[in-house]
């Protein structure tokens, strides 16, 4: 009888070994020359896991210089890619996602018990043995903040030209144009000439596209939420600032259209499960401005209603909107001076900010909550397209 | 007997700005 002896494959312990002279090739193939599209269909954040497995082997062999060198060239490589692709949303998302994942790995496998609560026994075997990389975690966290800021800048740059047009000028409610104040030339601050008007659907399409890219690249859900909170703040600030400067949009009909547009945005957030992000709360001043345009503005009771409703608008902003308010037709009266004085008297106790306009460049501080992965290092497969054959599985 | 794990050695890291400075000077040095 023939006896076949099967050689047992040596167990892969989730480490990757490479020769020091291949480090430049590794950072080139895995960082600077890598296209996110090459990794479609693979585990999200694959480069981060590969880098961690390389760091782990250098830690295993107690080679501190190799760890220093790899982390430094990786970080410099990521910065180089971001500089080259400083208007590429997908590339920036890809590296934000990977930098955060590498940061999470350095925590999850640090050996600090606080970061190991969700680890399996197998994952605990994959912790670093010799080195404490706390200081490198700080560098990766700082780098993540820089990448996040670049991502916001790109997204804002795409959305900004659409906002005023989509939020204040486009009329999607049928029959509303008949009740617009007359005598104003149609204008748009978002363009010099030509028909560059945008409807709200275009803004929503663009946000869908941002959302899909961020999800596909495996960006942490908490970061995606913060991106949309920031973008919604910007939509709020730009729209409100325009409203505060333009008489032609301070009307009942714009208030109506604006409230409808905001409700569409709220619905979009719910549909994408982003309603807990705090994005709607950033729109509160605009929601109140839309309501202010629609409320009656005549009696002392109306004044009281306005004061108790508009808590997110400053006195200066409320008064400005009332002054700019344009009646729809000859049957609607202008807001009287005495009505505005009543409002001012009621609000004099408020300690409001001095400036009329919102700071549309304001950035909320970003947080990167720890998000351990359930993936085990030894289950990760390196696709041939990455040209990393020189990495040895250990 | 259970062996206590050895304490890990803290690897000092330059800040992000220092890293960039080093990288820039290296690039300037190389022809």
Q: Which of A177-191, A192-206, A209-223, A251-265 has the lowest mean pLDDT?
A: A177-191
Asked if B13 lies within 8 A of A130 by C-beta distance, the reply is: no
Which residues of chain B have a CB within 8 Å of the CB of A71?
13
> pLDDT at residue B3 above 70?
no
> pLDDT at residue A271 above 70?
yes
Note the pLDDT of residue B31. Answer: 56
A 69-88: CB under 8 A from B: 71-72, 75-76, 79
Asked if B16 lies within 8 A of A129 by C-beta distance, the reply is: no
Instruction: Report the gap between the CA of A71 and the closest CA in chain B (Å).
Output: 9
Note the pLDDT of residue A4. Answer: 59
A 273-292: CB under 8 A from B: none
At A369-392, the pLDDT tens digits run 999 999 999 999 999 999 999 999
Work out the average pLDDT over A195-214: 93
At A6-64, the pLDDT tens digits run 555 568 999 999 999 999 999 999 999 999 999 988 999 999 999 999 999 999 999 99
Asked if B16 lies within 8 A of A130 by C-beta distance, the reply is: no
**How sure is the predictor about A191, in pLDDT bands with cuts at 50, 70 and 90?**
very low
3-state secondary structure A95-118: HHHHHHHHHHHHHHCCCCHHHCCC
Token pair belonging to A165: 């047009």
Work out the average pLDDT over B1-6: 61
Give the integer Cα–Cα distance in Å for A103 and A97. 10
Token pair belonging to A172: 């999607």
Instruction: Report the gap between the CA of A386 and the closest CA in chain B (Å).
Output: 25
Mean pLDDT of chain B: 79
DSSP annotation of A131 reads E
The answer to whether A165 and A198 are in contact (CB under 8 A) is: yes
Mean pLDDT of chain A: 93
Which residues of chain B have a CB within 8 Å of the CB of A142?
15-16
Asked if A111 lies within 8 A of B14 by C-beta distance, the reply is: no
B14 CB within 8 Å of a chain A CB: yes
Residue A236 to residues A155, A232, A286, A311, A352: CA-CA distances in angstroms? 15, 6, 6, 15, 18
Note the pLDDT of residue A6. Answer: 56
Token pair belonging to A116: 């190991």
Q: Which of A58-72, A185-199, A208-222, A286-300 has the lowest mean pLDDT?
A: A185-199
Token pair belonging to A113: 């018990």
Which residues of chain A have a CB within 8 Å of the CB of B10?
131-132, 134-135
At A274-294, the pLDDT tens digits run 999 999 999 999 999 999 999
A373: phi then psi, degrees, rounded to nearest 5:
-100, 145
Interface confidence (ipTM) of the complex: 0.83
Alpha helices, DSSP H, located in A165-283:
200-216, 221-243, 252-271, 279-282
Residue A86 to residues A36, A147, A152, A181, A384: CA-CA distances in angstroms? 15, 10, 11, 43, 28
> Is B9 in a helix, a strand, or coil?
strand
- According to DSSP, the β-strands at A16-17 and A392-393 are antiparallel
Note the pLDDT of residue A3. Answer: 61
Which residues of chain A have a CB within 8 Å of the CB of B24?
none
Asked if A129 lies within 8 A of B8 by C-beta distance, the reply is: yes
A72: phi then psi, degrees, rounded to nearest 5:
-65, -45
Cα A221 off chain centre by: 10
> pLDDT at residue B18 above 50?
yes
Give the integer Cα–Cα distance in Å for A55 and A68. 9
Work out the average pLDDT over A180-193: 49
At A89-113, the pLDDT tens digits run 999 999 999 999 999 999 999 999 9
> Is A392 in a helix, a strand, or coil?
strand
Which residues of chain A have a CB within 8 Å of the CB of B8?
111, 128-132
């Amino acid at each position: 009888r023939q006896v076949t002896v099967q050689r047992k494959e040596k167990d892969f312990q989730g480490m990757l070994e490479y020769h020091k002279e291949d480090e430049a090739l590794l950072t080139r193939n895995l960082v600077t020359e890598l296209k996110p599209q090459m990794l479609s269909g693979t585990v999200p954040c694959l480069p981060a896991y590969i880098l961690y497995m390389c760091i782990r082997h250098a830690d295993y062999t107690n080679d501190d210089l190799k760890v220093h060198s790899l982390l430094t060239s990786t970080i410099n490589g990521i910065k180089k890619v971001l500089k080259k692709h400083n208007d590429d949303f997908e590339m920036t998302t890809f590296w934000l996602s990977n930098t955060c994942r590498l940061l999470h790995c350095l925590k999850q496998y640090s050996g600090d018990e606080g970061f190991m609560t969700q680890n399996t026994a197998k994952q605990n075997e994959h912790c670093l043995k010799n080195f404490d990389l706390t200081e490198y975690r700080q560098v990766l966290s700082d780098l993540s903040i820089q990448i996040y800021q670049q991502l916001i800048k790109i997204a804002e740059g795409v959305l900004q030209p659409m906002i005023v047009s989509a939020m204040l000028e486009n009329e999607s409610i049928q029959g509303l144009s008949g009740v617009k104040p007359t005598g104003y030339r149609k204008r748009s601050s978002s363009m010099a000439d030509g028909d560059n008007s945008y409807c709200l659907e275009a803004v929503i399409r663009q946000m869908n596209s941002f959302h899909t890219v961020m999800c596909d690249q495996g960006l942490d859900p908490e970061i995606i939420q913060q991106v949309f909170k920031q973008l919604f703040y910007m939509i709020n600030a730009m729209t409100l600032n325009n409203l505060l400067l333009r008489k032609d949009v301070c009307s009942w009909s714009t208030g109506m259209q604006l409230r409808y547009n905001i409700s569409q945005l709220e619905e979009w957030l719910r549909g994408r499960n982003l309603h807990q992000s705090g994005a709607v709360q950033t729109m509160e001043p605009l929601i109140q401005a839309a309501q202010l345009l629609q409320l009656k503005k005549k009696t002392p009771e109306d004044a009281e209603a306005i004061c108790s409703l508009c808590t997110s608008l400053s006195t200066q902003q409320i008064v400005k909107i009332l002054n700019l308010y344009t009646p729809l037709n000859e049957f609607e009266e202008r807001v009287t001076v005495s009505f505005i004085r009543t409002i001012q008297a009621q609000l004099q106790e408020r300690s409001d900010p001095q400036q009329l306009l919102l700071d549309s460049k304001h950035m909320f501080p970003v947080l990167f909550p720890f998000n351990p992965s359930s993936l085990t290092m030894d289950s990760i497969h390196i696709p041939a397209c990455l040209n990393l054959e020189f990495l040895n599985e250990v | 007997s259970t062996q206590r794990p050895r304490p890990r050695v803290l690897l000092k890291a330059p800040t992000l700005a220092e890293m960039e400075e080093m990288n820039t000077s290296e690039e300037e040095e190389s022809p």
